[in-house]
Amino acid sequence: MKQATAIAFLAAQMIAPAMWGQGAAPLRVLASNGVRGAISALQPQVERAVGKPLNIEWGSSAALKRKIEAGEAFDLALLTPETTSDLMKSGKIAAGTAADLARTGVGFGIREGAPKPDVSTPQAVKQTLLKAKSISIVKEGASRATIDKMFATLGVADAVASKTKLEAGTERAGESVATGQSELEIVPLSEVGLVKGVQIAGALPGDLQNYLRFQASVGANAKDAATAKKAIQFLTSPAAAPTFKAKGMETH
C-alpha cells in the first residue's frame, strides 16, 4: 500500500507541471524569509492546488516593502501584518484580502554539535549574551525590534554592541554560525533551519518573547488575483497546518 501511495504521489508531481502548459505564467510571489521554510515545503502542494507554478522572491518584509513601493509587480505577498497594513493603506495591496498565515517566536541558533547555552530564563539569557564571543542578527529582519528590546530590558545593549554582527540576511546570519564566525544567532525560530549546520538552542523565555506574525494578501495590481486568492485559501486550510508546525510555526 505504501509503495502504491508513493508511486501515485510521484505521478502527481510529474503530471501537474504538464497540466500547466508551456505558456502558463507563474504566480509572482514576494515572501518574507520568516515563512521560507514552510512555504518552500508547501510549494508543490500549492502549485497543484492552484494549477500553475509559483515564482517566489524571498527577502525581509522591510526590503520587499521597498520593492513594492517602487513598483515591483506581484500577485501574492506573504509579509508581516504591519507591512501588509502599510501597503494596503498606500494602495499597493488589495483591500480586504489579508489573511493570517502563522506565527513564530524568536530564538537562538547555534552550530550543530556545539554545547547548548542556557536560555531558560531572562537571567540565563543575560549571562549567555555576556559570555558569547560573537552574535549575529539580521539587520532588517522582522525580529530586530524584539532583539533590540531584549537587549535594553536585560541591560546588555552596550556590552554586546561591539560583538554583534548585523547581517544582510537570514542566510548570512546562519552561515556565520555554521562556519564558526559567530557563536550565536538570534532570529525567528522558523528561520534557524534554513541553513544546514545550524540548530535551535532555545526560544526567548517569558516576557522577552514576542511572536512574529505573517499574513498573505493579494497585490492591488495583480495579474492573476483569482489564483492568488486560491493560493491563500490553501495556505490557510487545515491541509497546510502540519507543515507550518514542522517548520517552527503556529497556525491559528
Confidence band of 7 (pLDDT split at 50, 70, 90):
very low
Confidence band of 247 (pLDDT split at 50, 70, 90):
very high
Q: In sequence order, what are the residues at sequence separation of 6 or more whose Cβ sits closer than 8 angstroms to the Cβ of residue 23?
A: none
pLDDT at residue 141 in the model: 86
pLDDT at residue 20 in the model: 54
Quote the CA–CA distance of 176 and 35 in Å, as a whole number.
21
SS3 per-residue string spanning 183-196: CEEEEEHHHHCCCC
Q: What is the pTM of this model?
A: 0.85
Helix (H, G, I), strand (E, B) or coil at 109: strand
Helix (H, G, I), strand (E, B) or coil at 99: strand
Confidence band of 137 (pLDDT split at 50, 70, 90):
very high
**What domains can be seen in the chain, in order of their start residue?**
2-103+213-246 (3.40.190.10), 106-208 (3.40.190.10)
